């Protein structure tokens, strides 16, 4: 190579290097300021009389988790446009919401521990309860979940527990313990699934061992890992999104499931909570600090908490809602629905016996590693 060629390349290299340094410098300063910011500090002054028709909302939610005509209903009632984005898992939602750039999302639907993580990062707007009068419809228990005591930054949309969902015609002895799914009978091979999201992947093993599902103890996690690896070597499959449909079609016989996703409308399918106990999860609504439509966001959450709106969730996707007024409405309108679907009848007191998954901060990487170890094991 000639020297001329080298010198010709120099300016380009210098520009590139300069740009990188400049970017690194500005990125650096911003990252320290983000770390230094106290969560839930500096509250925006919101105007309760703001003209909502001048605002519009972007929300992100699981597919099929809200009424299809929700945007039209909000438009009619509150006068602003709602655009619905879909995420398939909490992790997908977090990837978009937690990157520090303005994602364009105003209201996010994420599970409790993820809401907690977003808040610790200073990304959430503290709620203004005076703009959400319908908070009064919630069960008192709904403000006692450990990821957000007092609903400071999140409003629960649904809640429930994790258990075993199974087909009575394919599983000979009904499951009673988490061990029944960790160590299933040989004839169910290829028909048993557990969840892949790391904390719920670890749950059956930790609960079976009698440990907290929020443990960070290396020894307990190592024991749980052994159980999970044994289950995988037996032939466990992993599924977070389609286990309900598989069970319905008979492609699966026994799955680890969130109660609402267990298709109990099929008379051959039952849901049970193992005797070792389980969790209390909640999918919550949060308002992003980057939102420019915070008044509309509050109005939207308030609208969701309207019993007539919120009861849709229980009636159509069979998830319990932490909204007393809405659940009363369901009991009044559609008693047979409750009778047929046992999980819907769990009371708040029963639910509160479950342990809430909380964000573990730095230690959460232990669970990521655990999950990676399970998937890498052949």
**Chain residues that interact with other proteins, rule: CB under 8 A:** 5, 8-9, 12, 15-17, 19-20, 23-24, 26-28, 30-31, 35, 58, 60, 63, 83, 85-88, 91-105, 117, 120-121, 189-190, 196, 198, 232, 236-239, 241-242, 245-246, 249, 251, 361-362, 365, 368-369, 371-373, 375-376, 378
Nearer Cβ to other proteins, position 139 or 147? 147
| Contact present, 76 and 324 (Cβ < 8 Å) | no
Nearer Cβ to other proteins, position 12 or 186? 12
Nearer Cβ to other proteins, position 159 or 367? 367
Find the shortest distance in angstroms from Cβ 276 to other proteins. 24
Nearer Cβ to other proteins, position 94 or 331? 94
Nearer Cβ to other proteins, position 174 or 361? 361
Q: Minimal CA–CA distance to 270: which of 352, 170, 356, 348?
A: 170
Alpha-carbon distance of 220 to 349, in angstroms, equals 29
Q: Minimal CA–CA distance to 116: which of 142, 88, 141, 151?
A: 151
Find the shortest distance in angstroms from Cβ 210 to other proteins. 26
DSSP 201-225: HHHHHHHHTT--TT---HHHHHHHH
Alpha-carbon distance of 11 to 218, in angstroms, equals 52
DSSP 259-279: GGGS-TTSTTEEEE--TT--B
Find the shortest distance in angstroms from Cβ 141 to other proteins. 29
How many Cα atoms sit within 13 Å of 27 on the Cβ side?
Answer: 9
Nearer Cβ to other proteins, position 45 or 378? 378
| Contact present, 294 and 287 (Cβ < 8 Å) | yes
| Contact present, 190 and 83 (Cβ < 8 Å) | no
Find the shortest distance in angstroms from Cβ 292 to other proteins. 12
Find the shortest distance in angstroms from Cβ 124 to other proteins. 12
Find the shortest distance in angstroms from Cβ 120 to other proteins. 8
């Amino acid at each position: 190579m000639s020297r001329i060629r080298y010198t010709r390349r120099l300016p380009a290299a210098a520009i590139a290097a300069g740009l990188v340094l400049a970017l690194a410098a500005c990125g650096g300063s911003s990252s320290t300021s983000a770390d230094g910011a106290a969560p839930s500090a500096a509250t925006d002054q919101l105007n309760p009389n703001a003209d909502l028709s001048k605002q519009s909302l972007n929300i992100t939610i699981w597919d099929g988790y809200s009424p299809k005509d929700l945007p039209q209903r909000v438009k009619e009632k509150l006068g602003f446009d709602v655009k619905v984005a879909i995420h398939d898992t909490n992790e997908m939602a977090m990837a978009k919401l937690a990157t520090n750039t303005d994602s364009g999302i105003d209201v996010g639907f994420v599970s409790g521990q993820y809401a907690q993580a977003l808040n610790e990062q200073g990304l959430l707007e503290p709620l203004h309860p005076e703009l959400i009068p319908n908070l009064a419809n919630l069960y008192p228990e709904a403000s006692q979940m450990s990821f957000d005591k007092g609903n400071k930054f999140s409003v629960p949309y649904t809640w429930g527990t994790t258990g075993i969902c199974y087909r009575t015609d394919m599983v000979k002895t009904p499951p009673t313990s988490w061990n029944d799914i960790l160590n299933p009978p040989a004839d169910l091979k290829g028909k048993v699934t557990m969840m892949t999201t790391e904390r719920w992947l670890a749950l059956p093993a930790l609960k079976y061992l009698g440990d907290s599902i929020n443990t960070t103890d290396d020894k307990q996690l190592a024991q749980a890992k052994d159980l999970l690896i044994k289950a995988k070597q037996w032939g466990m499959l992993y599924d977070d999104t389609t286990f309900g449909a598989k069970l319905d079609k008979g492609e699966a016989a026994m799955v680890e499931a969130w109660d609402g996703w267990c298709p109990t409308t099929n008379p051959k399918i039952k849901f049970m909570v193992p005797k070792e106990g389980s969790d209390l999860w909640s999918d919550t609504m949060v308002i992003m600090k980057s939102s420019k439509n915070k008044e509309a966001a509050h109005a939207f959450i308030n609208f969701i908490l309207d019993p007539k709106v919120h009861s849709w969730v229980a009636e159509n996707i069979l998830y319990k809602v932490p909204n007393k007024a809405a659940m009363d409405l369901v009991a009044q309108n559609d008693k047979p629905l409750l009778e047929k679907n046992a999980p819907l009848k769990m009371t708040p007191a029963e639910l509160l016996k479950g342990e809430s998954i909380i964000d573990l901060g730095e230690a959460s990487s232990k669970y990521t590693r655990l999950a990676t170890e399970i998937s890498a094991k052949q």
